[in-house]
Structure 1
């Protein structure tokens, strides 16, 4: 009985922010101390199907950036983690992987902004992508570093001894073994890029309006319906990813 009550309480706590954002999105003239909005309107929802809707465009940009960062960072981190493990200076390279997190994202963006300008990527999706990869790639490398233990190396050597080519050993032995960690790394790097605001806002110089940037813009404009709708769209992909990864997260050791 106690476990059921706890489960119910957790479900209510999880659903409460979504319910509040939904009321803010459709409510009209909702002011303190009113418990519920005096009126409701679906104008914000109807605007989502408009051809020139800025929220859907921001959603598309955010999905493009976060998805690309997650794929590139996960694949690159897998290879870099292997190279670091086999390097003579593995401890130094691992310590260097922490350097991007020694500075706040905004300060890091200010430091790399001159290089982004010289590459003619300032204010573009490519410039934001490069900046996000500078943060996500070391993060993925650190996460995947634990996979390249002595056991993984021995499995690779065993596959090569039995006649596998390097590509076959990677595809048929290493990737299946690393799949749970690769999936977790993809999930984490996607969230890192998806919720980023400071680095994206500085490098895009206001031209790349991702969903996170739009949320802050609407909040600054005191536009509660659009801010709530943008927040709901911002929470939707992480919630879907959480459902997809539910089996891995709840897997018993």
Structure 2
């Protein structure tokens, strides 16, 4: 009985925030102390069908950096993790990978902003990509570091002994073995970039209006309806990734 009550409680805690966002997204003139909105409208959702809708543009501006950073960080982290494993002092390089997380994202963005300006990338998607990569690449390296263990090296050596070229060993042995961890890293780095606000807001100088930036903007403007719609759109890609990786997450060890 207690387990059922716990499940119901957890479901309520999970559903209530989304239920509140749903009401905010369709409610009009909802003021305290009213328990429910006095009127409902789908105007904010209908406006999404417009080609020049700012929220849809923000969705695209979020997908492009997050997808690019996830792909580059995963590929780069895979190679860097291998190089760290084979270096003379792997522990030092691994410790250095934690340095980007010693500072808050906003402070890190302020520190690298002069370099972004010198590269003429300030206020552009390229500047945001560089900033996000400085955080996502070490994160991917740390995640993929565990793959390059001794038995992986033995598999690679065995494949080379059996006549595989270096490219064949990578394509037919190493990548298939690493694919579950690569997929996890791809998802994690995507989410890291997708939900970022501090780095994106500072480095873009307000010109790259991703969904996270738009949510905070609408909240600051007290536009609860558009803020709720933007927040719900912000949840869509992570929910899709969760469904696609459901088998991996629920797989028994």
Same fold (TM over 0.5): yes
Separation in 1 of the partners of 2:222 and 2:210?
18
Deviations 1:70-98 (A, max 9, x none): 11101110000000100112111111111
Aligned residues: 253
Separation in 2 of the partners of 1:4 and 1:242?
24
Alpha-carbon offset, residue 16 of structure 1:
2.1
* Corresponding residue of 2:116: 116
Alpha-carbon offset, residue 41 of structure 1:
0.7
* Corresponding residue of 1:91: 91
RMSD between aligned residues: 1.2
Alpha-carbon offset, residue 8 of structure 1:
4.2
Q: How does 1:53-72 map to 2 (within 5 A)?
A: 53-72=53-72
Separation in 2 of the partners of 1:247 and 1:8?
24
Alpha-carbon offset, residue 212 of structure 1:
0.2
Alpha-carbon offset, residue 47 of structure 1:
0.9
Alpha-carbon offset, residue 9 of structure 1:
3.9
* Corresponding residue of 1:11: 11
* Corresponding residue of 2:233: 233
TM-score by length of 2: 0.97
Name which of structure 1's ranges 77-86 and 236-245 shifts more when overlaid on structure 2. 236-245
Q: How does 1:98-177 map to 2 (within 5 A)?
A: 98-177=98-177
* Corresponding residue of 2:190: 190
TM-score by length of 1: 0.97
SS in 2 for 1:51: coil
* Corresponding residue of 1:242: 242
Residue ranges of structure 2 left out of the alignment (5+ in a row)? none
